[in-house]
Chain A
Amino acid sequence: MHGPLSALLQAGVFLAPKPWDDPRLFGEQIVLGLATGAVYALVALAIVLIYRSTDIINFAQSEMAMFGTFAMWSIWLSGVPFFSNPWALLVLAGLFGLGFGAVVERVVIRPVEGKPLLTIVVVTLGLFLLLNSVATWIWAQGELPKSFPSPLSVLKAVDIGFANIPQHHLLIFGVGVATMVLLGLLFNYTKLGLAMRATAQNPLAARLMGINVGNMLTLGWALSGTLGGISGALIAPVLSLHPAFMLSVLLYAFAAAVLGGLNSVPGAVVGGFIIGVAENLLGTYTPHAILGPEMKLPLALMLLVAILLVRPTGLLGERAVRRV
């Protein structure tokens, strides 16, 4: 093998570290991947929740989260005594998302309910542009990106035995997993959760049971908004605030949701973690001359297309069966 291509390959392979050379680095990349994967899983869950109950893919999910995170940033700077505490800010981010999701469902989605799917897709894309523009108008003054506070430190690392992990990444993982567990408990062990699952499966029958289907849909969007709000506030200290900062998260979350199966809740979680870890491993161990960190996003997109072509139902998704 001679020529420029092989030289490039060898140079690339040479530059890329090998996993077994540095086990600690490998461990770190896995744990960091699980942390960001938790965020992808949360956003993927938000997408899946809405898709399962209404067949709508909410493209504005990322911008709703971005908008909420910016709002939290303003509150943090405003010096309101209680909310200068990043812990309180994290909780408020979730609550803001809850309200925001509910308002979006009632004001934006409810009027187009039952309209053709394309209409609704365009509406969520419009919402995406609207929120992005308004956020740019309000917040994109002065220097960008803005830094967002973490309850812990982004820089200080903790030795967890086999790797040094920044405190904040451990927080992301912990809060992410706790949120998913709470959501699982809500869906599987409460009457409200049962009613939501029933509504997602068969709205007509749900109405005959006396379930207020409209309220369940609002609640679904509110929960999705909560997941978005929490993930925005969790990832913002890492990525820094910018009107487009949730965009890459959304793309990874889409890849995660599709990988797990768009209608599968466990699939979204598994998909999120797989994408998070894969992102870190690819970024660290692929020869930079061929697949540098800049190629991570296009790679996610290619993965998305590949899954849709090869296995549209994803890993854990079920084939939709419809009687016509």
Chain B
Amino acid sequence: MLRLDRVTAAYGPIVALREVSLEVEAGSVVTLLGANGAGKTSTLRVISGLLRPQSGVVEYEGERIDRLSPDRIVRLGIAQVPEGRQLFSQLTVRENLELGAYLRRDRAGIRQDLERVFNYFPILAQRQKQAAGSLSGGEQQMLAIGRALMARPRLLLLDEPSLGLAPLVTREIFRIIHAINEQEGLTVLLVEQNARLALDIARKGYVLETGRVVLSDLADNLRRNEEVRRSYLGY
């Protein structure tokens, strides 16, 4: 479904990604592991068109997307839940969700998806009229995911959904991500510091170090890998 082929990208003189290649199969959950600054977020930024690669190819369903603008990429069915959630904090929960469907014209479908999001996250239905900034951390993360779902994506990019959340809330959010993937077949590319949780729901994982892919394997194998256990799982 998504394929990166030797992608190199930089912020000015600082190289963020060096020849990163990876593949996400339709219907699967794939995770990117790595320390801070390894290039996980940059990879997502390249995919959603916020960072233009210097070389390499990004292909989505057989089509090159590495030269497209972010709105074209959203239109193709890729939605991102950015790091730090990036909600419109002064707008209401409802307005945030409506903005997720900004590019869509099918009113009936939008209403249906709103129901679907409220189904996954009932708390958001109760908080519809509240400013997004007044929600708790966990609720904000739910809203960020719900907002991305409102675009009715086929590929969901999730950047650090556990950031700053209590373990119990994190587990709840991972349970829902897993459920969405299982029930709807939504493809997920997950960036996560919490390697244990990520490998629990992922089929496959890539390990990034200083902008390079140093390891890629099935999640089960990664969990047993000596290197991964020491560096990312901590046992």
Cβ B102 vs Cβ A204 within 8 A: no
Please give the distance in Å from B17's CB to the nearest CB on chain A: 19
Given that A191-B102, A194-B95, A194-B99 are known contacts, is A210 also in contact with B86, CB under 8 Å in the complex? no
Tell whether, in the assembled complex, residue A211 and residue B102 are in contact, meaning their CB atoms are under 8 Å apart: yes
Residue of B nearest to A323 (CB): B84
Is B103 within 8 A of A194, CB to CB?
A: no
**Residue of A201, A202, A210 touching B102 (CB-CB under 8 A):** A210
In the bound assembly, the distance between CA atoms of A210 and B82 in angstroms comes to 14
Cα separation A207 to B151 with both chains bound (whole Å): 13
State whether A208 touches B70 (Cβ < 8 A).
yes
B232 to chain A: which residues have CB within 8 Å? none
A260–B135 Cα gap in the complex (Å)? Answer: 28
Given known A-B contacts A191-B102, A209-B99, A211-B102, A198 and B88 have beta carbons under 8 A apart: yes
Choose one: A202, A207, A210; the contact of B88 (CB below 8 Å). A202
CB nearest neighbor in B for A211: B102
The residues in B between 47 and 93 inclusive whose CB is less than 8 angstroms from any CB of A are 48, 50, 69-71, 74-75, 79-80, 82, 86-91
The reply on A212 being an interface residue by CB < 8 A is yes
Report chain A residues within 8 Å CB of B82. Answer: 204-205, 208
Task: Identify which of residues 205-219 in chain A touch chain B, using a CB-to-CB cut-off of 8 Å.
Answer: 205-212
Give the residue name and chain of the A residue nearest to B90 (CB). Answer: A201
Within 8 A of A (CB), among B111-163: 147, 151
Rounded to whole angstroms, the CA-CA distance of A209 and B70 in the bound complex is 8
Would you call B39 an interface residue if the criterion is a C-beta within 8 Å of the partner chain's C-beta atoms? no
A208 to B153, CA, bound (A): 12
In the complex, the answer to whether B103 meets A208 with C-beta atoms within 8 Å is: no
Distance (whole angstroms) from the CB of B157 to the closest CB of chain A: 9
B48/A208 in contact, CB under 8 A: yes
Question: A210 to B98, Cβ gap below 8 A?
Answer: no
Please pick, from A195, A198, A202, A210, the residue contacting B70 in the complex, using a CB distance under 8 A. A210
Q: Does chain A have a CB within 8 A of B211?
A: no
The answer to whether B70 touches A201, judged by C-beta atoms less than 8 angstroms apart, is no
**Overall SS of chain A's interface:** helix
Contacts of B70 in A (CB 8 A): 207-208, 210
Chain B, interface SS category: loop
Docked Cα-Cα span, A204 to B83, in Å, equals 11
Minimum CB–CB distance for B52 against chain A, Å? 13
Cβ of B100 under 8 Å from chain A = yes
A205 touching B88 in the complex, CB below 8 Å, given contacts A191-B102, A210-B103 = yes
Which of A197, A207, A211 meets B91, CB within 8 Å?
A: A197
Query: Interface size (A, Cβ < 8 Å)?
Result: 16
CA distance A83 to B125 in the complex (A): 53
Min Cβ gap A40→B in Å is 26
A195 to B82, CA, bound (A): 18
Cβ contact within 8 Å between A209 and B89: no
Closest-CB distance, B187 to chain A (whole angstroms): 18
In Å, the complex CA distance between A204 and B99 comes to: 13
Within the complex, the shortest CB–CB distance from A266 to chain B, in Å, comes to 14
CA distance A194 to B98 in the complex (A): 9
Nearest CB on A from B148, distance (A):
8
| A300 CB → nearest B CB, Å | 30
Task: Assess the B86–A202 pair: CB atoms within 8 A.
Answer: yes
When distances are taken between beta carbons in the complex, the residues of chain A under 8 Å from B90 are 201
Say yes or no: A205 contacts B87, CB within 8 Å.
yes
How many Å lie between the Cα of A205 and that of B90 in the bound state? 13
Residues of A within 8 A of B100 (CB): 209
Q: Which one, B50, B89, B95, B151, contacts A210 given CB within 8 A?
A: B151
Minimal Cβ-Cβ distance residue in A for B96? A198
Q: What residues of B have a CB within 8 angstroms of the CB of A201 in the complex?
A: 88-91
Chain A, residue nearest B81 (CB): A208
Instruction: Tell me which of A202, A204, A210, A212 has the highest count of chain B C-beta atoms within 10 A of its own C-beta.
Output: A210
B86 contacts which of A191, A204, A212 (Cβ < 8 Å)?
A: A204
User: Are B80 and A210 in contact (CB-based, < 8 A)?
Assistant: no
- In the assembly, what is the distance between CA of A198 and CA of B50, in Å? 18
The 9 closest A-B pairs by CB, nearest first: A210-B74, A210-B71, A205-B86, A210-B103, A209-B102, A207-B70, A209-B99, A201-B88, A198-B88
Q: Besides A195-B99, A209-B99, 12 other CB < 8 A contacts?
A: A191-B102, A194-B91, A201-B88, A201-B91, A202-B88, A205-B88, A206-B99, A207-B70, A207-B71, A208-B50, A209-B103, A211-B71
